Amino acid sequence: MSASIKDVAREAGVSVATVSRVLGNGPVSDALRLRVNKAIEVTGYRPNLSARRLRSQHSQTIGLIVSDIRNTFFTSVSRAVEDAAYQAGLRVILCNTDENPDREAMYLRLMQEERVTGVIFAPTRETALRRDLDTLGFPVVLIDRAGPQSTVDAVVLDNAEAAAQLVDHLVQQGYRRIGGLFGNTSTTGRERHEGFVAAMQRHGLKGEARFIAPTAQAATEATEAWLADPDKPDALVASNGQLLLGALRAVRESGLALPDDLALCGFDNESWTEVAFPALTVIEQPVLEIGRSAMALLMDRLADASRTPRKVVYPGLLRERGSTAKK
């Protein structure tokens, strides 16, 4: 059992109120303050945050709910969120949902029980479309994924435009038979698909898109199957880092040469995309910025609950590299 404020009070020969005032930098005479501080030292007292939270009625805690922290996009975002949070005196509870709506619901419920100050959340499409995200009892800021008319704050990439950038780039480099791999659980996958399709149409081309589970493994399998096709594409777009990695693995195993046999590009400027050979053309997302921005939206919302929901949209940055060299 560790020491409580009571033990400190006894040790110092003062009331608990005085100890509390010392802790909170309230008005206390220097003499008593000295005695209390000594007593704190002697007893090894540490404040009990559960008690403080119960008393003060706020948890100083935010939730960060993502599909999988091993996805580098979320890793980086989480780092930015945590830095900002700890700086603001907030704790962060991290949850991995594995794109499972049931787990999302479970964690949202947990957040209610924790009486969190707010939640930063990358939902599945299913949950993003829920109408009640604004009635959970705490503010929610969506990241990475958000429905078209979200009732809550969100910070996302301009997905359609970014996908179009990739298509435009590929076309400009001389590719025509362009295929796309898209994640089937997120609004992000959908939006990137839309941008892909629109851009292809604009060029008078008819690309094929395939929706798959958002894992490297699924991408490897899908790509292998696709490359076996006599009618196979001459360029492939992968809608996130996991899919890009999986596709690359399939290309390596098939023995095809990049970019001569197949051009490859995608999303997320993970560090390895730069050292792969040839280096991979990608859309870079401002990951740290996205995390910071999400925290900022959350803070603003806490300051004024009634403000109109905002959606911060970042442009993707095309990093042209060898994997899409001119045909």
Partner DNA sequence: GTGAAAGCGCTAACAC
Partner DNA sequence: GTGTTAGCGCTTTCAC
Please list, in sequence order, all residues whose beta carbon lies within 8 angstroms of the beta carbon of residue 280, skipping any fewer than 6 positions away.
244, 248, 264, 265, 266, 273, 274, 321, 322, 323
For the CB of residue 113, give the shortest distance to DNA in the complex, in Å: 8
One character per residue 284-313, x = contact with a copy of itself (rule: CB under 8 A): ------------------------------
One character per residue 32-51, x = contact with a copy of itself (rule: CB under 8 A): --------------xxxxxx
Among 82, 99, 104, 144, binds a copy of itself (CB under 8 A): 82
Judged by CB under 7 A, the chain residues 14 through 33 that form the site for DNA are: 14-21, 23-24, 26-29, 31-33
- Distance (Å, whole) CA 243 – CA 318: 17
Residue with tokens 């206390």: 28
Closest CB to a copy of itself among 46 and 206? 46
One character per residue 189-228, x = contact with a copy of itself (rule: CB under 8 A): ---------------------------x------------
* Region label for 215, one of left (φ > 0), alpha (ψ between -120 and 50) or beta (otherwise): beta
- Distance (Å, whole) CA 72 – CA 68: 9
110 is a contact residue toward DNA (CB under 7 A): no
Amino acid at 199: A
Residue with tokens 């399709």: 197
For the chain, what percentages of helix, strand and coil (3-state, to nearest 5) are there? 50, 15, 35
**Which residues form the interface with a copy of itself (CB under 8 A)?**
2, 46-51, 53-54, 59, 68-70, 72, 75-76, 78-79, 82-83, 86, 91-96, 109, 112-115, 137, 216, 245, 248-249, 252, 270-277
